[in-house]
Structure 1
Amino acid sequence: MDRTFLMIKPDGVQRGLVGEIIARFEQKGLKMVAGKFETLPEDRVMEHYAEHTEKPFFAGLKAYITSGPCFLMVWEGKDIVSITRQMIGATNPAEAAPGTIRGDYAMEIGMNVIHGSDSDETAAREIGIHFAPEEITSYTRIDEAFLYE
């Protein structure tokens, strides 16, 4: 199965949306194989957002993402990156369709509730930044036979 990295950002945690967001992915048939609740340390923020460190918005992004705890997760499923990106919605919540996480819960780009990896390569890199291999579990959901052909 494919894997992706998802992170409920501080605004999603503060607004009590963790359970609702997890439920959406579980109800879709995706499987969480790792999760942890933490305030991100600066070194991991710098590594995670390495491509943005020289951009003018980075200082605000760094202050926001370290402003409180996040809920970090690894999820499994067939074509999971594209499926979760569709469920998350556009980066700009004003452009996110109703029914998506950002379309339903976010108002601004700067506080858009959730991060999701945008490719299989990015997912592998982000999972490696935030989780050690032994933190990721493997199991079979009881309903998997009814989810995939």
Structure 2
Amino acid sequence: MKLLQAPEKVLAEHYHDLKKKPFYPNLINYMSSGPVVAMVWEGYNVVRTSRAMVGDTDSGEAAPGTIRGDFSVHISRNVVHASDSVEVAQREISLWFHSSELVDWDCCSRSNLYHV
């Protein structure tokens, strides 16, 4: 996890698939207007679990108890992003983190948890 001011170059690459959308300039402006917290999560079914915790992209549809359901006021200000696949997560992690910033470790409970 790290707190940073998102470089416009990283934002442009992160949101490259939205570049032709009319809201793209506002998105980049909003995302570069203050610091962001970037995190890498690891664990069993982490993509599915994290997306469940984050909630629907449209905050109006996000369930209470999810991050977007509790803290977002509009789809254009949805407070949090979660990768939608392991492949996308790997690409996004490489955008936001240098390999030297990532820690690879084995938790003592890992062998018990994943062999259930």
- Global fold match (TM > 0.5): yes
Structure 1, gaps ≥5 residues long: 1-34
1:57-90: CA deviation from partner (whole Å, max 9, x where unpaired): 0011001000000000111001111110011000
Give the structure 2 partner of residue 32 of structure 1: none
Aligned residues: percent identity? 43
What is the alpha-carbon distance in structure 1 between the residues aligned to residue 98 and residue 51 of structure 2? 24
Check 1:106–1:147 CA distance in 2 against 1; reply closer, same or farther (3 A cut).
farther
Q: CA shift at 1:141, angstroms? A: 3.5
Q: Does 1:106 align with 2:60?
A: no
Instruction: Indicate which of 58, 63, 74 corresponds to 2:29.
Output: 63
Superposition TM-score, scaled by structure 2 size: 0.91
Q: By percentage of residues, which structure has more strand?
A: 1
How much is the aligned-residue C-alpha RMSD, in angstroms? 1.4
Superposition TM-score, scaled by structure 1 size: 0.72
Give the structure 1 partner of residue 10 of structure 2: 44
Q: CA shift at 1:144, angstroms? A: 4.0
- Counterparts in 2 of 1:117-128, with a 5 A limit? 117-128=83-94
Max Rg structure: 2
Q: CA shift at 1:36, angstroms? A: 1.2
1:109-130: CA deviation from partner (whole Å, max 9, x where unpaired): 1111110101111101101111
Check 1:113–1:55 CA distance in 2 against 1; reply closer, same or farther (3 A cut).
same
Aligned length: 115
Q: Does 1:72 align with 2:38?
A: yes
Structure 2, gaps ≥5 residues long: none
